[in-house]
């Protein structure tokens, strides 16, 4: 283990804070909502770490376990079934000590790749949430992601911290190209020193991580000098997410920056087969992003909102995108599917309220029909709700 690796848990760094905040702000509404399915929740932290950093700050296992406790305490569902699993290859001893006060937490010692199938065996019909936060890219085997999609869970969600520049750097090594953006990794402590070289075995390994060979022409373009490392990373991630969407209907690709205006350090990828999960994630990212932007600006007001990509997003742009997207829904479509589809296409650029505001404007202008069931309240008024569940359904259809 290199010195760098040992440093990881000494002090919690900014980017670990960002990752954990995003996980935390999503998990609470996720668990609260998914408990209503009355099916068990299987939460797996696939690269768990120590549970707690040496400076006393909580790592992802403690963050998740605390949220599970809170949700169990406040839910009205009787006997909520939530099972938590933590896989760790190296720091399992510290992990055991740090999460000993949660007796129901299961620890699997060893590699995620070797343990995950056993954990998910016989979990058909359950709601499965996998959190994957490896140091590098090697653990992220595509064939496993493929197999999870076939396992007949009630719902499945994956939240992946994808070290996409790590992939590009390895791919450059395999193709004998100098990776010029090496400074990206300066404050991104990585665990695994690479063993990849220009052998066929290394190419196969990258094919297995990417889930195909589409990354190779991108690296060739870099080699020819047509694109730089940033562009290559962006293109690779676009293709990676497209590939994911063959198995999982809703894929969100979220670049993570530590400071405003920076290039992304890595990507958070959220994939799921159910629209509500996608909407919940995107909406939470937006809220979290607004909060983080305030921290970055030292509380100074910005004239316009910015999205997670540092692009300026004002209401006019949201309206333009909303028109572009919803005017394509000439068939009746479930509202949640349409909202999730919007986020998949444009990314988590605005809160759900803003999407709904645009839809209501279209409704008022007779451009869209919003079909609500029930369509009248008990007192005979026309209903205006925009959320489904508890006996309510909402569908939309573009009219002109």
Ligand X SMILES: C[S@@+](CC[C@H](N)C(=O)[O-])C[C@H]1O[C@@H](n2cnc3c(N)ncnc32)[C@H](O)[C@@H]1O
Q: Shortest Cβ contact with ligand X: which residue?
A: 59
For residue 22, state whether it binds ligand X (rule: CB under 6 A): no
Q: Which is nearer to ligand X, 21 or 33 (CB)?
A: 21
Among 30, 47, 145, 325, binds ligand X (CB under 6 A): 47
Which range, of 134-142, 219-227, 344-352, 375-383, touches ligand X by CB under 6 A? 134-142
For residue 276, state whether it binds ligand X (rule: CB under 6 A): no
Among 22, 133, 162, 283, binds ligand X (CB under 6 A): 133
Tokens read off for 98: 């740090």
For residue 135, state whether it binds ligand X (rule: CB under 6 A): yes
- 278-317 binders of ligand X (CB under 6 A): none
Q: Which is nearer to ligand X, 134 or 347 (CB)?
A: 134
Which range, of 133-141, 145-153, 236-244, 331-339, touches ligand X by CB under 6 A? 133-141
Which range, of 72-80, 105-113, 164-172, 289-297, touches ligand X by CB under 6 A? 105-113
Among 68, 139, 275, 358, binds ligand X (CB under 6 A): 139
Give the shortest CB-92-to-ligand X separation in angstroms.
9
Count of C-beta atoms within a 10 Å radius of residue 151: 14
Site string for ligand X, 207-246 (x = CB under 6 A): ----------------------------------------
Largest CA distance in the chain: 73
Give the shortest CB-384-to-ligand X separation in angstroms.
42
- 62-91 binders of ligand X (CB under 6 A): 87-91
Give the shortest CB-107-to-ligand X separation in angstroms.
11
Give the shortest CB-161-to-ligand X separation in angstroms.
7
Q: Which is nearer to ligand X, 44 or 126 (CB)?
A: 44
Among 60, 127, 163, 253, binds ligand X (CB under 6 A): 60
Among 34, 49, 123, 240, binds ligand X (CB under 6 A): 49
Binding footprint of ligand X on the chain (CB under 6 A): 16, 20, 47, 49, 59-60, 87-91, 111-113, 133-135, 139, 191
């Amino acid at each position: 283990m290199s010195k760098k690796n040992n440093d990881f848990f000494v002090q919690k760094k900014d980017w670990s804070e960002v990752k954990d905040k995003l996980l935390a702000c999503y998990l609470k509404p996720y668990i609260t909502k998914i408990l209503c399915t009355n099916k068990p929740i299987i939460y797996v932290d696939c690269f768990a770490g120590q549970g707690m950093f040496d400076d006393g700050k909580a790592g992802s296992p403690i963050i998740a376990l605390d949220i599970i406790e809170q949700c169990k305490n406040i839910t009205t569902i009787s006997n909520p079934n939530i099972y938590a699993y933590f896989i760790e290859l190296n720091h399992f001893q510290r992990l055991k000590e740090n999460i000993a006060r949660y007796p129901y937490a299961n620890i699997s010692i060893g590699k995620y790749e070797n343990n995950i199938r056993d954990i998910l065996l016989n979990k058909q019909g359950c709601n499965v949430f996998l959190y994957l936060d490896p140091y590098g890219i090697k653990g992220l085997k595509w064939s496993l992601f493929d197999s999870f999609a076939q396992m007949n869970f009630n719902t499945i969600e994956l939240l992946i911290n994808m070290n996409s520049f790590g992939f590009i750097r390895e791919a450059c090594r395999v193709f004998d190209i100098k990776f010029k953006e090496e400074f990206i990794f300066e404050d991104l402590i990585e665990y695994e020193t690479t063993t990849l070289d220009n052998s066929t075995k290394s190419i196969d390994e990258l094919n297995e991580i990417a889930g195909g060979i589409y990354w190779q022409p991108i690296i060739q373009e870099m080699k020819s000098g047509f694109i730089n490392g940033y562009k290559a990373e962006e293109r690779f991630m676009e293709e990676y997410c497209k590939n994911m969407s063959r198995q999982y209907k809703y894929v969100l690709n979220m670049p993570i920056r530590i400071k405003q205006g920076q290039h992304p350090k890595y990507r958070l990828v959220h994939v799921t087969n159910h629209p509500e999960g996608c909407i919940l994630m995107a909406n939470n990212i937006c809220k979290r992003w607004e909060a983080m932007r305030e921290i970055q600006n030292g509380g100074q007001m910005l004239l316009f909102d910015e999205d997670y990509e540092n692009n300026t997003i004002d209401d006019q742009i949201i309206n333009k995108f909303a028109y572009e997207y919803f005017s394509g829904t000439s068939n009746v479509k479930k509202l949640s599917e349409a909202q999730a589809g919007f986020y998949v296409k444009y990314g988590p650029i605005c809160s759900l309220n803003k999407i709904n505001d645009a839809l209501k404007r279209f409704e008022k202008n007779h451009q869209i029909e919003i079909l609500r069931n029930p369509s009248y309240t008990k007192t005979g008024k026309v209903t205006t709700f925009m959320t489904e569940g508890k006996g309510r359904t909402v569908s939309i259809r573009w009219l002109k």
